[in-house]
Every structure is written in structure tokens, then in C-alpha cells.
Chains A and B, each alone.
Chain A
């Protein structure tokens, strides 16, 4: 499903070149749920940007569902993100001027779906995350946990095979965090590939496979007891 081969990412700041990812090779099969852990600055977010097709690597190959995406142009990447990937961010990243329903519809609008179909799909995923009674609330009128559930609904709306979640519980109280984790695990049971980025060992314990990254390199990959 996802194959990274010798992916490196360099950032040039002034005369210094930072190696954010150093020849990362990684296979993820469909339906897996894994956590990427590592200290701050180790390259987790950079890896997530690569996996999420938000950025292209400086070197190496990336096959997503058999398609080489590491050399694509911005608009093609946007299309792949829209079709294949659902993002869940630490700080929710909802549009504050839109209602919950409108936020969830947004990826479907960019996909070019008609109003009726959009509405149907959005209502369904909002139901799944238990927000059928908050459709017309703006983010400011929702709790953090509810906002993150809207964000999950938005990630799910287009029915992408992969959900990428960067510290999805980082800004939540423990109860809301547990709820969010339950939803993600439930999605995984239904067949979604879920990639979590976290530095919380408690979260990492809940998944089968853990990848530890340090200084841009994968130092551990496997199951933690």
C-alpha cells in the first residue's frame, strides 16, 4: 500500500543543510494501524508530510497504492491528497467561518461532487463520530474533543484509504483523547490504514506496530509488548 524507499529530505537554511529525513525505508500494508514516535525535532512531521503528499522528498521513491508520487507537481499532489488521504491535525485545523457540516463538505467540494451527494456523505460521517446534533455549529461553539471529531469526519468524508493523524490527542483532555483514539481504532477495524504520530507512550501502546525515529532515521520498527 505504502512503500518508502531511501527517502531523504533536506532543508536549506542559509548555508546550513538540515537533514530532516535520512534514507528512510518503510512499508505499510493496507489496514495497518501504526504509530510513529520519536523526540521533538526528530523528523516525525516531515515524514508525515511526505506520507501525506504535502511535500515531495529530496531523494528516494514513494509508491502510494502502486503509484510513484515523489516527482509529482503541486496540483497532482493536491488531487492525491483529496482522494487517498485524510488528515487529522493536533490543532484541528478547521475553518472557523464554516459550520461543522460545511467543514466536512469542503474536501468533497474540491473533489467536484454535487451538493446532494456531498450532503449525504457528510451527514453519514458526522453521524459516525457522533455529531449529528452539532451540524450547524461553528468550531468556536464546539469543545476541543468535538472539534477533533469534526476534523476526523472531514478526513473520512471522501472515504480515503489512509488516515494520517499528527498528535491527534495532543490538545485534548484525557477523556476526549480516549474518545478520539476509540474512533480511530474503530476505523482501523473497518479497514482504514491509520498512521498516528505521537510522542505519548500511552497512545503508542494501543497500536500493534510502532516506528521510532531519531535524527531523521528509523531506529526501531516492530511490535511493542
Chain B
């Protein structure tokens, strides 16, 4: 018996019994849609977290020195000397503090970073207007400031802040740049801060010594050797491994990816279970159908249908049901992923792989749960089947 013929018969059977066929498919539809939606949420989350970490700068190594563990701190000049070392492309030491910024009668409390000109490249953080900090700003302790997008909104509204003067902790600073919008970062907002030259910040905050340094390795291959060198240098100076940490962004990424990957697999697995339940639904209906169609099976056998013909017919029917359910499930899943993506405002690009996987699983479910009823049909005794009322 030719396969195309069987498929046509199966489709006709499904059409003749629309409600029952739809209910049979529903399990598969929900299962496939759930796999697609949940996995794409998982992947979307993973992508956005990864993107944010990468947005912090590429091949980034960060160093923090803990206040309460050591009195030792690093000076700007000694840190910048590291730049001569192999594999190091840029170094951005940072001083942190909290300040209040005033423009006219508006006041806004925010955090401040004292930075150098390397910061722009190392942290991959640029201005959208005006200019960045340049080396002479540090040499002359210029009282200039870069405003984060959020700070600018709070103080200036829609007005262009570049060229205006603000008061930071009571001192006048000229706004020379407006920082680009980074959006909600993985750790605190990147837009809710101001940046001034590092040397100016030392004076303003009355802070001696640097406790945060961002180092950019020349390439991904250099990251490990840079980490090792920095570790070595810091140990020689501080002699207490608890007092500092050298942080490798690539490692962090790997950890995050592992966590989100596990999450995605778990979500997919849970959705997969609902597909299995859908398969049981198919089996249930098919068993009913085999009983209902016992006489038909008897007739087919009497006129020459072999076991494999009957087996194939019922298996193809199961496959037509499960793959139709699969296709409808894919459509529902694509729609669902889009809606949930826009509600949760994450990017849920549904990959072809997930679609293929979910569909393949649906087909597999059709085969696995179709084979028992199909086999039951194929094994019916023709005489008894013909007698069946």
C-alpha cells in the first residue's frame, strides 16, 4: 500500500472527526508550544545576561582590593606601569564615591567614578555627546564631568547638558560629555552615575589609593596570562590572598552560561513531559479507534492487506496526528514566545533548532505511542475481525 495514499486516508479520517482529532492533537500542540516558549525564554534570558556581561568590555579582568583586609592600596602611577607588561591592552583604575550633583535648584544623589581615558575602551563605555576624559584632564585635575544618561534626565530633562556647569559636593564642574545609555545592567544601573578625572576625584573625595582596577587583555588567549601576572604582582605587594580578588570576565560568563543552560534544559524538560502526556492521549484515542475499526481491519486483511500494511496505516495515522499537532504547536509556540518576550521585554528569538527539536520530539511521540495500537491492529485475526459487530 502506497504511503501517499495512506497519508491521504489518514488526513481524511482526521477531517471526518474534527473535534476528536483536535482534542487528540491538543496534548501535542500544548507540549510543542510549551517547549518552544520555555526554551526560547531560557535562551533569551541567557542571551541578554551574556550580552550585558560582554557589554562591560571584552577580555576584561577586574581587580578589587578590600578595605577591611589590608591597609595597602595602589597608586595610580604604579598601576599604569603594568601597561608595559605583555598581553595588557588597557588599564582603567577607578575610584568610587557617592556625591550629590546640583544644577540650578535641582539636586540629585548619585555615585561617582574617578576614571582615566583608557576607561572608554576597557569598559566599552562611550559618550553619546561631547567628549570623553582625556589624559590632560588627569594631569591638570580638570573639573570636568561626564553625566550618565539617567543623571542627565533627572537634572536637565530634555535639555542638552554638554557645556553646562553643575555643582558636585558644592564644587563647580563643567559638563563635557553625556554618556551613552547602557540600560539596566546586571549589577546596578550603568546610567545612574557621573564620571570625573581620577586625579580630580582623589581631591574631591579626599581618597588616597585605588581599590578597583579594570584591565583589558589584548585578546581572549591573553586573559589567563594577564590574570596570572596580576595575581603575582598583587601577592608580592599585599601578601594576603584574602585582601584582593582578580576577576576573570570569561570565567564569569562561563558560569552564567552554565547556570542559564541548566535552566533552559530544565524548562525544556518540563515542557517535554507535557509532550509525553500528549503522546499518551494519542495512544488512548488510537486504541479506541482500533476497536471501532476492527471490521475495517478485517476487510482490509481479507482482500489482501498484510500485517505491515495495517501497521503502516495506523502508524501513519498516529504520525499525521502528532505532526499536525506539532505544526500547530510550533505556530502557537512562536506566537506565545513573541507575546511573552514583549511582556517580559527579553529577546526570545526562537531558533530553528528548538523548532526542529520540538517537532522531532512530537513525531517521535507519535511513533512511540502509535506503535502499540498499530501493532494491535496488525495482529487482529481476520476472521474474528470480520465477525466483529
Hey, which bits of chain A sit against chain B, CB under 8 A? 49, 52, 54-55, 74-75, 78-79, 81-83, 87, 89, 93-95, 97, 106-107, 109-112, 154, 158
Contacts and interface: CB of A to CB of B under 8 A. Distances in A.
B182 interface: no
A111 B304 contact: yes
6 closest A-B pairs by CB: A82-B304, A110-B304, A107-B303, A75-B306, A78-B306, A93-B299
Looking at chain A's contact residues, is the secondary structure mostly helix, strand, loop, or mixed? Answer: helix
A22 B16 CA distance: 47
A54 B385 CA distance: 11
Contact of B302 (A81, A97, A109): A81
18 contacts: A54-B386, A55-B383, A78-B305, A82-B303, A83-B304, A87-B303, A93-B298, A93-B302, A95-B296, A95-B299, A97-B12, A97-B13, A106-B300, A109-B2, A109-B5, A110-B300, A110-B306, A158-B304
Contacts of A112: 1-2
B141 interface: no
Interface string B349-389: 00000000000000000000000000000000011001000
A54 B383 contact: yes
B386 to A, nearest CB: 7
B309 interface: yes
Looking at chain B's contact residues, is the secondary structure mostly helix, strand, loop, or mixed? Answer: helix
B302 A110 contact: no
Contacts of A49: 383
Contacts of A52: 302
A75 B13 contact: no
B257 to A, nearest CB: 54
Contacts of A95: 296, 299-300
A80 to B, nearest CB: 9
Contacts of A83: 304
A154 B304 CA distance: 12
Contacts, number: 61
Contacts of A75: 306-308
B295 interface: yes
Best-buried of B12, B302, B304, B383 by chain A (most CB within 10 Å): B304
B103 to A, nearest CB: 81
Interface size class of B (residues with CB under 8 A): 20 to 34
B307 A110 contact: no
A155 to B, nearest CB: 8
B304 A54 contact: no
Nearest to B303: A107
Interface string B1-45: 110010001001100100000000000000000000000000000
Contact of A79 (B299, B306, B382, B383): B306
Contact of A109 (B1, B12, B16, B307): B1
A102 B301 CA distance: 16
Contact of A81 (B298, B304, B309): B304
Best-buried of A52, A55, A78, A106 by chain B (most CB within 10 Å): A78
A78 B383 contact: no
A74 B16 CA distance: 32
B218 to A, nearest CB: 69
A110 B305 contact: yes
A158 B302 CA distance: 13
Nearest to B301: A78
Nearest to B299: A93
A106 B304 CA distance: 9
A94 B5 CA distance: 18
A47 to B, nearest CB: 12
Contact of A54 (B13, B16, B296, B302): B302
Contacts of B9: 97
A82 B305 CA distance: 8
Contacts of B16: 97
A83 B306 CA distance: 13
A49 to B, nearest CB: 6
A94 B296 CA distance: 8
